Amino acid sequence: MTSHPAVAAAPIVRDAFDPSHVDFDVFALFLEARRLHRSKTPKRVAKEAKVELDAVLRAARGRNPGSYEFFALCDWIGEEPATFLKKELRHA
């Protein structure tokens, strides 16, 4: 009998991004705080994160920047995507 490893429920994974699970307002606050702390323009953030400027501007307004862009900006911010789960989806 083969055993299968337990699969943890992870609402945010790169292959199954569900924007309804993300608190984009919190994401925007983190993005803008990091951007200002690092003295970067939105254009510079886009270049460093390798995303379009429009994605940075959408994210900064608390809107979904897109799946790839969300993960790229999480990397740029230096936070795990799970940091931005809506409160009711966070595990204790």
Taking 80 as the threshold, does the pLDDT of residue 8 lie above it?
no
Return the ∠ at Cα 81 (arms to 33 and 66), rounded to 5°: 85
Question: Which DSSP string corresponds to 14-73?
Answer: GGG--GGGB-HHHHHHHHHHHHHHTT--HHHHHHHHTS-HHHHHHHHTTS---HHHHHHH
What's the pLDDT tens digit per position in 53-84?
A: 999 999 999 999 999 999 999 999 999 998 99
Handedness of CA 56, 60, 66, 69 (dihedral sign): positive
86: its two tokens: 């809506």
Q: Kindly indicate the confidence band of residue 5, based on its pLDDT and cuts at 50, 70 and 90.
A: very low
